[in-house]
């Protein structure tokens, strides 16, 4: 299949770019801290194809719900990192029994652990601390503080450590994932620094330090995996060695955002009293489901011969719109470019994270997904129809 034959709207996964990110992460870790494990963040994009590719890369599944846990098992993952504030008891016990890394994030999980009677388990504690004070303006939660983990400042973290101690269960690791707006290297320096501080303060013997996800990847003028991992090694080396302690990273968006594109076709243009509108068969809900983006990496793919292109007029403003019946389904404004017309295409790049798995079933069902490898395209998810939409419904 060629690019022109793709049914739009659709997503396209560029396999070489996916491999590039995976390769860069692995070589960075091998160079700086050659005792590591990577848990791919399922929530960022758990399309079955993606999940399979991450397994082939040797990554663990990083899951945060019972459904994601089951999905990881369905895909044959033997290595799972179980995170999140609301795990399920059934899968929690399964994880205990099957040697998963479990980062505890709720008091009831300590109760389940006690009930299970198991001691030979790999559990860590998710740490809640005031990172905002160390990186002002950078954390997602800001002044309100994160809602995840056991609090260092209030003593709940120490309490949880003591509970494990009473059960005779060693604390294997610390989990320090904190969402940030900036994805800066400084964040990871502070997280690694906090791990060192906790080790000193509580005299811990840890088999792993999990710094979570939240990195940039594949973006110009932004930090890349080698920058993060080098900074992490510099800080962690204060208290830890690769011989004793494994470094865990849980990337999502840094791996899966860059290789995925969203392709749409222009279906109409309209001139109103206020605007020149370009209506596409795509939608903002597929590239910005949380309606938080203000710009997109995009390409205008004009169709036509050189002569036809010569004849196209440049106009000052074109507003690109989507297929939904929402007024705010406007994607971006094109300034001083040739007029788009029916049949032209618009491609949105670097849209693989927090899109495919956040897209609602609104007005139109899930679009098709293709993978591109050496210029060849093949379908890896057919578009959903009314058939898939109504599955499992009783009426």
Ligand X SMILES: *Cc1c(COP(=O)(O)O)cnc(C)c1O
Residues that bind ligand X (CB under 6 A): 41, 43-44, 62, 64, 83, 177, 212-215, 250-254, 353
- Minimum distance between the CB of residue 326 and ligand X, rounded to whole angstroms? 26
Using the minimum distance from each CB to ligand X, give the nearer residue, 10 or 176: 176
- Minimum distance between the CB of residue 241 and ligand X, rounded to whole angstroms? 24
Length of the chain: 395
User: Which one, of 50, 53, 46, 11, lies nearest residue 377 by Cα?
Assistant: 11
Using the minimum distance from each CB to ligand X, give the nearer residue, 190 or 253: 253
- Minimum distance between the CB of residue 203 and ligand X, rounded to whole angstroms? 26
Q: Is 300 exposed, middle or buried (0-12, 13-18, 19+ CB in 10 A)?
A: middle
- Helices and strands, counts by H and E, the chain: 13, 18
Structure tokens that stand for 236 in this block: 């962690």
* H or E element at residue 278: strand 276-280
- Compute the distance between CA of residue 59 and CA of residue 79 in angstroms, rounded to an integer: 8
- Minimum distance between the CB of residue 300 and ligand X, rounded to whole angstroms? 29
DSSP letters of 236-262?
Answer: HTTT--TTT-EEEE--SHHHHSTTEEE
Residue 15 in contact with residue 372, Cβ under 8 Å? yes
- Minimum distance between the CB of residue 71 and ligand X, rounded to whole angstroms? 15
- Minimum distance between the CB of residue 375 and ligand X, rounded to whole angstroms? 29
Using the minimum distance from each CB to ligand X, give the nearer residue, 150 or 377: 150
- Compute the distance between CA of residue 26 and CA of residue 33 in angstroms, rounded to an integer: 10
Using the minimum distance from each CB to ligand X, give the nearer residue, 63 or 346: 63
Residue 384 in contact with residue 366, Cβ under 8 Å? yes
Using the minimum distance from each CB to ligand X, give the nearer residue, 147 or 392: 147
- Minimum distance between the CB of residue 3 and ligand X, rounded to whole angstroms? 28
- Minimum distance between the CB of residue 296 and ligand X, rounded to whole angstroms? 18
Classified as helix, coil or strand, 228 is: helix
Using the minimum distance from each CB to ligand X, give the nearer residue, 9 or 251: 251
Using the minimum distance from each CB to ligand X, give the nearer residue, 139 or 265: 139
Residue 282 in contact with residue 11, Cβ under 8 Å? no
Long-range contacts, 2-7 (Cβ 8 Å, 24+): 2/377, 3/263, 3/372, 3/377, 5/377, 6/263, 6/368, 6/370, 6/377, 7/368, 7/383
- Minimum distance between the CB of residue 45 and ligand X, rounded to whole angstroms? 9
- Compute the distance between CA of residue 300 and CA of residue 171 in angstroms, rounded to an integer: 53
Using the minimum distance from each CB to ligand X, give the nearer residue, 292 or 375: 292
Provide φ and ψ at 88, rounded to 5°.
-100, 150
- Compute the distance between CA of residue 260 and CA of residue 286 in angstroms, rounded to an integer: 12
Using the minimum distance from each CB to ligand X, give the nearer residue, 44 or 139: 44
- Minimum distance between the CB of residue 69 and ligand X, rounded to whole angstroms? 14
- Compute the distance between CA of residue 390 and CA of residue 165 in angstroms, rounded to an integer: 50
Partners of residue 376 on adjacent β-strands: 373
Using the minimum distance from each CB to ligand X, give the nearer residue, 12 or 64: 64
| Sign of the alpha-carbon torsion through 318, 319, 321, 326 | negative
């Amino acid at each position: 299949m060629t690019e022109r034959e793709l049914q739009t709207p659709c997503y396209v996964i560029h396999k070489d770019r996916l491999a590039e990110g995976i390769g860069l992460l692995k070589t960075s870790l091998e160079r700086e801290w050659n005792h590591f494990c990577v848990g791919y963040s399922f929530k960022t994009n758990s399309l079955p194809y993606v999940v399979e590719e991450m397994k082939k890369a040797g990554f663990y599944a990083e899951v945060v719900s019972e459904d994601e846990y089951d999905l990881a098992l369905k895909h044959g993952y033997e290595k799972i990192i179980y995170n999140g504030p609301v795990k399920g008891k059934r899968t929690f016990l399964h994880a205990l029994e099957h040697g998963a890394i479990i980062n505890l994030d709720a008091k009831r999980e300590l109760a389940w652990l006690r009930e299970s009677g198991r001691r030979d388990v790999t559990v860590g504690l998710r740490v809640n601390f005031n990172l905002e004070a160390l990186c002002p303006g950078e954390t997602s939660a800001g002044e309100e503080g994160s809602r995840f983990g056991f609090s260092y400042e209030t003593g709940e973290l120490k309490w949880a450590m003591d509970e494990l101690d009473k059960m005779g269960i060693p604390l294997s690791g610390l989990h320090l994932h904190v969402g940030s707006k900036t994805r800066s290297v400084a964040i990871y320096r502070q997280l690694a620094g906090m791990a060192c501080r906790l080790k000193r303060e509580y005299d811990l013997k840890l088999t792993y330090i999990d710094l979570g996800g939240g990195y940039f990847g594949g973006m110009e003028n932004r930090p890349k995996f080698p920058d993060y991992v080098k900074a992490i090694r510099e800080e962690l080396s204060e208290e830890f060695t690769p011989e004793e302690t494994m470094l865990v990273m849980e990337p999502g968006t840094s791996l899966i955002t860059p290789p995925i594109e969203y392709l749409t076709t222009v279906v109409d243009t309209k001139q109103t009293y206020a605007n020149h509108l370009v209506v596409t068969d795509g939608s903002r809900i597929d590239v910005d489901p949380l309606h938080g983006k203000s710009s997109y990496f995009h390409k205008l793919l004009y169709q036509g011969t050189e002569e036809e292109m010569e004849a196209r007029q440049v106009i000052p403003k074109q507003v690109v719109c989507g297929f939904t019946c929402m007024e705010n389904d406007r994607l971006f404004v094109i300034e001083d470019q040739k007029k788009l017309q029916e049949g032209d295409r618009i491609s949105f790049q670097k849209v693989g994270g927090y899109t495919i798995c956040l897209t609602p079933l609104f007005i139109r069902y899930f679009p098709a997904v293709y993978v591109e490898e050496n210029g060849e395209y093949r379908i890896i998810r057919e578009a959903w129809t009314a058939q898939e939409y109504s599955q499992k419904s009783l009426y």
